[in-house]
Every structure is written in structure tokens, then in C-alpha cells.
């Protein structure tokens, strides 16, 4: 339904999106995950035809967004980061106007308006001016606007930003209900949102795609190594070397340090419980073992580890090559 091939966008010398490729199957919800400034909005703006790409191409519902913009836009509903509302129009006036410019035939307009307003639960504010709406309602009217012409593809830029917890849950349910009839891309920097709503995730950082996979697969793949957190009072000495010598340990890193007490992250090979070995080693060395607990890789940490992987390479002075994208398990 959506196909993005080697998309690159440069603003002057700044590269916002660099060689991004992915595809979204019909009826799927794809999460677009990345820190602020990663290139999520830029990619979405290219997909919606708001701006052209410097290189590469994007197909929406089979139409090239650059060569056949009108056809592609007819099939796309877009909710930008700030809902594009006209403050001096009432909600129903606004939605009527959007229906007109999106080419909803005048006979069907009333019907569409009603359906969409019910679906996004804005019927009770239909007569209110857009400028008088609360943040939650603004977001919902924005969503209604994106849905008004019943598009095949929905592109939602941070649809839950600024909503209260109840509204967030409602919006997520709505988005889930929309999948199937519509293909959805949503961007967010909130991780639980992705695991709860999306079938697949594209993690993007500094304009590069870092990983494309299902949320479950991502979590599983990165839990390949088990991580323990060990806090040691070694009297100011460095315990890292000793910890590394324990059988099965693959990596030791300092995570925090305070008054001679050092916390280490210890990675071990998959499926090997090294806790006994580790505690014995620490105690045998005459140090104090203050804390020992397993660290579960949450999606949050996966995200962090994926998006910060580049820093050691760039410190070496060489231009950082993009980390190899995680292969799509779904395609294999």
C-alpha cells in the first residue's frame, strides 16, 4: 500500500532523511519510532506530498507522490503534528470545507460528516468554534479531518501528543479499529504506544532506518544477551576486570558510580545463569555486593541501544556508517 524507496531529503547541507526504505502492507498499522528530530515528520511530509524528496521515491496506493500528487493525495489522510484547524470556523463548517477540498461529492458530504464525527466522538462540539476547543478535541477534529474522505492510507504525526491518559487510550483504540479498512502509519516517541497499537515498527534515528520489525521480535532479538546489574563496593578499585573473568560474561560496562560504589552492567551469553558465579567472585574478592538484579530489556532500552549505537564509531573520528538495519523477520 505504501512503498518508500531510498528516500533522501536534504535541507541545504543538513540531511534530514537519509536513504530510508520500507513498505507497509494494506491494512497494517506501522509505528514510526524515533527521538525528536530523527526525520519522522520529514518522511511523513514527503509521503503526504507536502514537500518533495531530494532523492528516491514514494508510492502511496500505487501512485508516485511526486509524479501523480493529486491521485496520491486523494487516497491519503494526514494529521500533522498540530491539527490544521481554522480558528474562526465551527467544527462542522471546518469539516465541510475539508470534505469539499478533498473531493467528497456534495451528495455524500452530510453522511460522511456524520459518520466521521461519530467515529471520532466530536458530535457534541459540532457547533463550537475550533478556537474554543480543548487540546483533546482539537486532536480528534484533526483526526476527523484526516478521515473525512475515507482514504486508503492514514498518516498520523504523533496522534496522541498532548492528550490525557484516558484520551490516549481512546485514540489508540480508534486507530486500532481503523486498521484493516485503512493502512496506517503513525509516528511517536512514546514506546508503549508502539507495542500496544502497531503491528510493525520502523525505528529511525538521525535520518536512518535502524530497525524494521514487529515489537515482539525486536524485544526478543535484543534479549539475545542477558544483562545483570551488579553494584559493588570495591573500595575504590576497578572491579571490571575481575567481573569479566567470570565464565560466560561477554561484556562489562560501568553504569553508575558514587562514593567508590560502582554499578556495573554485566552481559552474559544467552541462556546462561551466571548469578551464582558472579556473586561468589565478588564476595571472594573481599568486596561488598550491594545489589544484584537482572535487567530486562524493555522496548525503551532497545530503542536507546539502537539509537545510540553510532556514538562510539563517531568518536573514533571516522564518519559513522549507518548501523546495519535489523532484517525484517516478517519478510523472511
| Residues making contact with other proteins (CB under 8 A) | 9, 11, 16, 42, 45, 48-52, 69-71, 73-74, 76, 78, 80-82, 84-89, 93, 97-98, 100-103, 145
Question: What is residue 327's DSSP assignment?
Answer: P
**Residues whose CB falls within 8 Å of the CB of residue 217, separated by 6 or more in sequence, listed in order:** 329
Q: Where are the beta strands (DSSP E) in 83-135?
A: none
Q: How far is the CB of 266 from other proteins (least distance, A)?
A: 45
In the block, residue with C-alpha cell 483533546: 136
- Residue labelled with grid coordinates 512503498: 3
User: How many CB atoms sit inside 10 A of residue 234's CB?
Assistant: 18
Q: How far is the CB of 330 from other proteins (least distance, A)?
A: 29
d(CA 2, CA 16): 20
Sheet with strand 226-233: strands edge to edge = 249-258, 261-268, 226-233, 288-295
C-alpha cell at 251: 561484556
SS3 content of the chain, % helix, strand, coil (to 5): 35, 30, 35
Rounded to the nearest whole angstrom, what is the least distance from the CB of residue 14 to other proteins in the complex? 10
Residue closer to other proteins, measured from CB, 117 or 201:
117
Q: What angle do CA 186, 188, 302 make, to 5 degrees?
A: 115
CA dist., res. 8 & res. 6, Å (int): 6
C-beta of 185 vs 232, nearer to other proteins: 185
Query: What is the closest distance, in whole angstroms, from the C-beta atom of residue 151 to other proteins in the complex?
Result: 10
> Shortest distance, CB of residue 81 to other proteins, whole angstroms?
8
Q: Which is nearer to other proteins, 100 or 296 (CB)?
A: 100
Whichever of 162 and 288 has its CB closer to other proteins, that residue is: 162
- Nearest to other proteins of 41, 197 (CB atom): 41
Comparing CB distances to other proteins, the nearer of 49 and 215 is: 49
Amino acid at each position: 500500500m505504501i512503498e518508500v524507496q531510498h528516500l533522501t531529503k536534504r535541507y541545504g547541507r543538513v540531511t534530514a532523511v537519509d536513504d530510508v526504505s520500507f513498505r507497509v502492507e494494506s491494512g497494517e498499522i506501522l509505528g514510526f519510532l524515533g527521538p525528536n528530530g530523527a526525520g519522522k515528520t520529514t518522511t511523513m511530509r514527503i509521503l503526504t506530498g507536502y514537500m518533495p524528496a531530494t532523492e528516491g521515491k514514494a508510492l502511496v496506493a500505487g501512485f508516485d507522490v511526486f509524479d501523480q500528487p493529486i491521485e496520491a493525495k486523494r487516497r491519503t489522510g494526514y494529521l500533522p503534528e498540530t491539527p490544521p484547524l481554522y480558528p474562526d470556523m465551527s467544527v462542522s463548517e471546518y469539516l465541510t470545507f475539508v470534505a469539499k477540498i478533498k473531493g467528497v461529492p456534495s451528495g455524500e458530504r452530510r453522511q460522511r460528516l456524520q459518520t466521521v464525527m461519530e467515529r471520532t466522538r466530536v458530535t457534541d462540539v459540532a457547533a463550537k468554534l475550533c478556537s474554543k476547543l480543548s487540546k483533546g478535541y482539537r486532536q480528534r477534529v484533526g483526526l476527523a479531518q484526516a478521515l473525512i474522505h475515507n482514504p486508503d492510507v492514514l498518516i498520523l504525526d504523533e496522534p496522541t501528543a498532548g492528550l490525557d491518559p484516558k484520551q490516549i487510550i481512546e485514540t489508540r483504540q480508534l486507530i486500532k479499529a481503523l486498521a484493516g479498512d485503512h493502512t496506517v502509519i503513525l509516528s511517536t516517541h512514546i514506546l508503549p504506544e508502539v507495542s500496544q497499537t502497531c503491528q510493525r515498527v520502523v525505528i529511525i534515528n538521525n535520518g536512518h532506518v535502524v530497525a524494521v520489525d514487529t515489537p515482539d521480535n525486536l524485544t526478543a532479538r535484543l534479549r539475545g544477551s542477558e544483562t545483570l546489574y551488579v553494584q559493588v563496593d570495591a573500595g575504590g578499585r576497578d572491579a571490571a576486570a575481575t567481573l569479566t573473568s567470570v565464565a560466560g560474561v561477554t561484556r562489562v560496562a560501568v553504569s553508575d558510580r558514587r562514593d567508590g560504589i560502582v554499578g556495573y552492567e554485566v552481559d552474559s551469553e544467552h541462556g546462561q545463569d551466571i548469578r551464582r558465579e558472579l556473586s561468589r567472585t565478588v564476595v571472594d574478592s573481599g568486596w561488598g555486593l550491594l545489589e544484584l538484579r537482572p535487567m530486562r530489556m524493555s522496548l525503551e532500552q532497545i530503542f536507546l541501544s539502537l539509537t545510540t549505537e553510532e556514538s562510539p564509531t563517531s568518536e573514533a573520528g571516522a564518519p559513522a556508517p549507518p548501523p546495519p538495519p535489523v532484517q525484517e523477520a516478517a519478510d523472511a
